[in-house]
A and B are shown apart, each in its own frame.
Chain A
Amino acid sequence: MDLGLRGKKAIVTGATKGIGRAIVELLATEGADVGLCARTEDEVEATVRALKQHGVNAVGEAVNVRDGEAYKAWLERTVAALGGCDIFVPNVSAGGGFDSEKNWIKNFEVDVLHTVRGCETLMPHLEKSGNGSIVIISSTNALETFGVPQGFNAMKAALITYAKQLSQHVGKKGVRVNSIAPGPIYFEGGAWELIKGTMAKLFDYALKQIPSGRMGTPEEVARIVAFVASPAGSLMTGSNIVADNGFTKRVQF
């Protein structure tokens, strides 16, 4: 199946590690040009170099998405460098935290506001695309209680609601909006590796919730994102796709 990604211009935030990195790798493999950002400059440079190996155009900068103006300016520069934008994957997250109300502000600013600002800034370009597609990265923590009542979970839930609303709002302009809710995704340098190292009991508990006893990989999430983002996923908009290897227990009607 040809996803139709060749020559498409994709912008992905937080793309030097984990899910974000796997997404840009796959998009580049499929022939899409990629613009990306992350916090650490040398890691951004290394990722851009790796993507160019696939023979596509790749650009990247070190950006803190919490800084709204800097972030929006970077988005515009990236659109100019790529020559447009067909796909947007806001992927950065502030992660979990339960020890201070500042976590709520951080999750709001990073998880929610960076997504909203990105969608609003890029919308004119996505409208021009004709195949404009946004894939917002949420989490199964939005769907079922897990761990502690933290800002991360609630803000990830806000993203699903936002994605649905936005899909209705921009549908007539030919832009599709979907969200993905990955379950536990294990990778080197990821949150679950840290949990395995520092909270072994929580790690074992999470693993037991998965019928096959295996957490997901970033590559597995990336394949779903690539399909939903691509013209091949043209019928899907306003959907939230759960990708958790059976981690959550609710029935989705």
Chain B
Amino acid sequence: MAAPDDFWERSKTPAYTPVRRVKPGESPQTPVEKEPDPELGHDPVDPRRYTSREFMRLEWQRMWTKVWLLGGRELDIPNPGDYIATEIGAESVLVVRQKDGGVRGFYNVCQHRGNRLSECGVGSTGESQSFKCAYHHWEYELDGSFRRIPDIDTFPQGRPSHGLCEVKCDTWGGFVWFSLAESPPPLLDYLGPIPQHLEPYNLNRMVQTRDITVEWDCNWKASVDAFNESYHVQGIHPQLLYYLHDLDIQIDCYERHSRYLIPFGTLSPRVRRPPGIPEPIKTIMKAAGMDPADYDEPIANIRRDVQKHKRAYGKTHGKDYSRLNDDQLTDDYHYLIFPNLSLNVHADDFWIFRQRPHPTDPDRMFYDIMTFELVPEGAEWPRRAVHKRWKHGEKGIGLVLDQDAANLPGVQAGMHSKGFRGLWLGKQELRIRHFHKVLDDYIYGPDGKPADAP
């Protein structure tokens, strides 16, 4: 048995020199101030939150049906009659471009016998400019009112008093959002500081390069947690230690959303300085238009030099970085928009990971990967990626995400184990604690969590 101090020596965080970060006055728009860390205690997180059907029911009743959720991208529905159908839990929601250019949302369900009107995904009503149920051909206008009910004269009670059941819908940032709440807070209130943070990125100049849904064998929160901390990099992503700083990370928790700022293009203090530039960092240099073979400076200078290079040549490459700070040119500004959007935001690309709960099973979820790339000014707008869907393990989704995905079924299995006492979270996992606190606020309300509740 090792003495306690041996354990400490083996276990303690390696020492490191902090990376240089932009100071509050040096960021044109996105705030870079560190938020004071919330006091959230040190209690273990109850694993029943990940497995209990009762908890899943409460989540639906008190959280999913109260928040704002991502419906899709406005660019995908440019014309009247274009729509996106999104499945969320047991519900399916249509957001539809209207003739007046607005967007409205409806439950994706025919008022006749309850059939789904439209399949999940992006589509267009085409020439008909109507939704027609495949079962008995009940047909609806884009605004949800009835256009035609075959043999209406055989319904002595006439038609239902209302057409499609409306869902609250709004747009921000080129994205359509919906809420299943009767009277949700205004979208911008709900999003809090997020718009101010994200507006300087040229999100509307980015084309979608991946659109994938994978069914994962874990609770949706296990997936949210997986992207909400960087502590796991040294565990399951050893190659990223030659790509990013996994310890010098600024965590900011806001009212319900959170973010962390991860320096990219630099070595983790967990690895020794290698003899040459690691391939992962070379990819960052090449993407910025630098030639790694031409680079004769220490690896520690690369992050700063990539920032300078992008600043100097952005315009030449048709990329407008003028509203971004220097760190945003290299680093990962990673946001969690509560409850289910993990955003990796970069100057030249942008990834959304969305976690959607399974309709009935707390042990399963749908993981959406949507990635976007900046299209340089003057370049032809490429075709958007086609949506693909499969189950975990059927196909790879890239090394890093495969590493994340491979891990999660084991995590979920552990949540059911009698031998697991609860999630033991450290400071690097503050965002996970914050996420669960926000969830608790929805579920248990102002009175707080009852003593024995999960």
Check A174 for interface membership: any CB of B closer than 8 A.
Answer: no
User: A213 CA to B293 CA in the complex, in Å?
Assistant: 32
CB distance from B89 to the nearest CB of A (A): 38
A-contact 0/1 string along B302-323, CB 8 Å cutoff: 0000000000000000000000
Q: Is the CB of B272 within 8 A of A95?
A: no
- Are B273 and A97 interface neighbours, CB within 8 A? no
Q: Which residues of B contact A101 (CB under 8 A)?
A: 293
- Label chain A's interface by main secondary structure: loop
The answer to the question of A100 belonging to the interface, with a C-beta cut-off of 8 Å to chain B, is yes
Contact of A194 with B292 in the complex, beta carbons under 8 Å:
no
B292 adjacent to A99 (CB under 8 Å): yes
Is B272 a contact of A99 with CB atoms below 8 Å? Answer: no
Report yes or no: A197 in contact with B294, Cβ–Cβ below 8 A: no
Interface size for B (C-beta < 8 A) is 21
Contact, CB under 8 Å: B275 / A198: no
A106 & B293 in contact (Cβ 8 Å cutoff):
yes
B235 within 8 A of A: no
* Residue of chain B at shortest CB distance from A191: B275
B236 to chain A, nearest CB (A): 12
Answer yes or no: B35 CB below 8 A from chain A CBs. no
Task: Please pick, from B238, B275, B294, B296, the residue contacting A190 in the complex, using a CB distance under 8 A.
Answer: B275
Interface stretch of the complex, out of B106-114, B210-218, B279-287, B368-376: B279-287
Contact between chains at B274 and A191 (CB < 8 Å): yes
Query: In the complex, A191→B277 CA distance in Å?
Result: 10
Contact between A194 and B278, CB atoms less than 8 A apart: yes
CA distance A97 to B238 in the complex (A): 21
B276 interfacial contact with A, CB 8 Å: yes
Q: Verify A197–B276 contact, CB threshold 8 A.
A: no
Q: Is A18 an interface residue (CB 8 A)?
A: yes
On chain A, the number of residues with a Cβ less than 8 Å from chain B's Cβ atoms is 25
**Could you say which residues of chain A place their CB within 8 Å of the CB of B241?**
197
Are A97's CB and B275's CB within 8 A?
no
Tell me whether A193 and B274 are in contact in the complex, defined as CB-CB below 8 angstroms, given that A199-B279, A200-B239 are known contacts.
yes
The answer to whether the Cβ of B377 comes within 8 Å of any Cβ in the partner chain is no
A96 in contact with B276 given A198-B242, A200-B239 (CB within 8 Å) = yes
Contact A99 B242 (CB under 8 A): no
Q: How far is the CB of A99 from chain B (nearest CB, A)?
A: 6
Contact A191 B272 (CB under 8 A): no
- Nearest A residue to B276 via CB reads A95
| B280 adjacent to A198 (CB under 8 Å) | yes
Contact yes or no, B293 A197, CB < 8 A: no
A97, B274: Cβ atoms closer than 8 Å: no
Is there contact, CB below 8 Å, between A189 and B274?
A: yes
Closest to B282 in A: A99
User: What are 16 A-to-B residue pairs whose CB atoms are below 8 Å?
Assistant: A18-B275, A97-B276, A99-B286, A99-B291, A100-B291, A100-B292, A101-B293, A102-B294, A106-B293, A189-B275, A191-B276, A194-B242, A197-B242, A197-B271, A198-B239, A198-B242
**Partner-A contacts on B (CB < 8 A):** 238-239, 241-242, 271-276, 278-280, 282, 286, 291-294, 296, 298
